[in-house]
Amino acid sequence: MTQYLTTPETRRIAYDLTPGTGPAVVFLGGFRSDMEGTKAVDLRDWAVAQGRAFLRFDYSGHGLSAGRFEDGAIGDWFEDARAALSLVEGPVVLVGSSMGGWIALQLARAMPERVAALVGIAAAPDFTEDLMWASFDDAQRAQVMAGAYPLPSAYGEPTPITRRLIEEGRDRLVLRDPLPLPFPVRLLQGTADAEVPVSVALRLMEHAQSPDLRLTLVKGADHRFSSPECLALIRQTVADVAG
């Protein structure tokens, strides 16, 4: 059942908490995604069957949460995720999809004592700078700086890429400074991902400092990573690190 939490920054976010044993699994969705996405629902069903505590939520401006998407930025959504962690006790298993992988890495950097393990699914750290801004031409950059650039999307209406999204994202980058991850880390990545190339996963694997980090490449899998085989791999990976 959907419930609501008001964050310390006074944003009202929607969440669904499944009670069970720990460590709780926390799903962090992607850019313009929500907690009703295929991967979030599949993991919720797995958690229910396992009696495992599971939390999914919508960032502000996403899904059932309050606010406008175009008013948000990476830092806002990190703060939303940090507030959501107050709903569960003890160390958690963070499962971050696309942008959620970046958010998960920020949480791990800010509060490593709360993280038992981290699973990244097509994780997209620093994507506003390295995948968006770096690829924009002068005209597109000018539109961003003037307010917003409507980035065409394969998933529906164009996505407004705002000046605040780009500039605020620069304060949240995780691949420029040391990134200690002192717990098991699993990265899952499709070779046919058109949004987040394999090079991002390889760069993250090289950059992060972890005693137990593994990258699994799935030939032919796209950014959605939601085929039955991919969903089964996600479930098995989370089960392995959750213990």
List the catalytic residues. Answer: 98, 193, 223
pLDDT over 90 for what percent of the chain? 97
Q: Residues 205-215: pLDDT tens digits?
A: 999 999 999 99
Number of independent structural domains in the chain: 1
Residue 121 lies in a domain: yes
Domain with 212 in it:
3-126+175-242
In degrees, rounded to 5, the angle at the alpha carbon of residue 50 between the alpha carbons of residues 40 and 83 is 45
Written as one letter, the residue type at 14 is A
Q: Residues 86-123: pLDDT tens digits?
A: 999 999 999 999 999 999 999 999 999 999 999 999 99
Q: Residues 173-214: pLDDT tens digits?
A: 999 999 999 999 999 999 999 999 999 999 999 999 999 999
pLDDT at 91: 97
Q: Residues 37-53: pLDDT tens digits?
A: 999 999 999 999 999 99
pTM over cut 0.95:
yes
Residue 163 lies in a domain: no
**pLDDT surpasses 90 at 243:** no
Residue 80's CATH number: 3.40.50.1820
